[in-house]
Amino acid sequence: MADMIRKVGVIGSGQMGNGIAHVAALGGFDVVLNDVSAERLKSAMATINGNLSRQVAKKIITEDARKAALDRIVSSDSMDGLADCDLVIETAVEKEEVKRKIFQDLCTVLKPEAIVASNTSSISITRLAASTDRPEKFIGIHFMNPVPLMELVELIRGIATDDATFDASKEFVTKLGKQIAVSEDFPAFIVNRILLPMINEAIYTLYEGVGNVEAIDAAMKLGAHHPMGPLELADFIGLDTCLSIMQVLHEGLADSKYRPCPLLVKYVEAGWLGRKTQRGFYDYRGEKPVPTR
């Protein structure tokens, strides 16, 4: 039982996926990073290398540790590459039908004793588990963004998750040097259930003209010592992701206090999703970010 997890698969090579691959490889695990696009995998490997190099420059890790970590990661653009993994973590977009399809494809190639996990920030672990052939071996392992820097991982058991899966996952996360918060399987778990309504409320504050972008962000940075203002943070997370988590909260808990702010909806409709599209509550196309309201 002790060393049940040796080889870890990561599905999706975006910001979360490459971060999880990075910390798992540094933690001594063999990693298979999977994505449908070979192009995206190439850019993910370059990002991982860049982030590891930055850690070397800051003396967080040694050059030898960087090399060893890179050697532990292989990339694969087919599901077959994940066949012999002991644990596979899915980090696809926050859309349930996309995740279900991935799990169906994965389970056909994966060895029967392997654990399947989702890095979902809001979707029911119980429901996702039910779409697989191994609900008792399914768990939520929710990393925070950016993964190499953030200390916390939320562990979420579905109704069917067995103790062996929970214990092995706990041990895996501990080996990465992360702290664990165990959450019940309710919409958005702990961090996002508290954080996203705060961001949504900040957007309402803007929408209702209580303060402009700069005033709201300065107020929370200087008045509550938040390292980043809520609107700046929303841009960092991605406004589409913020909206989808608010929708999950609103639908899952049917409480009007979780209603997504119409201004958030408007920005998403405009395709102004934050940093990744160069515009959100700030415009990132110039020398420094300029508020868009």
Q: Which residues are catalytic?
A: 121, 142, 154, 192
Distances (CA, A) of 191 to 143, 195, 216: 11, 6, 21
DSSP of 22-35: HHHHHTT-EEEEE-
| Residue with tokens 């979360």, as numbered in its chain | 16
Q: Which residues contact 123 (CB under 8 A, 6 or more apart)?
A: 94, 96, 99, 248
Residue 192: which H helix or E strand, with range? helix 191-207
Q: Residue 184: which of 148, 225, 219, 140 has the closest Cα?
A: 140
Q: Which residues contact 253 (CB under 8 A, 6 or more apart)?
A: 186, 187
SS3 content of the chain, % helix, strand, coil (to 5): 50, 15, 35
CA distance 201 to 228: 15
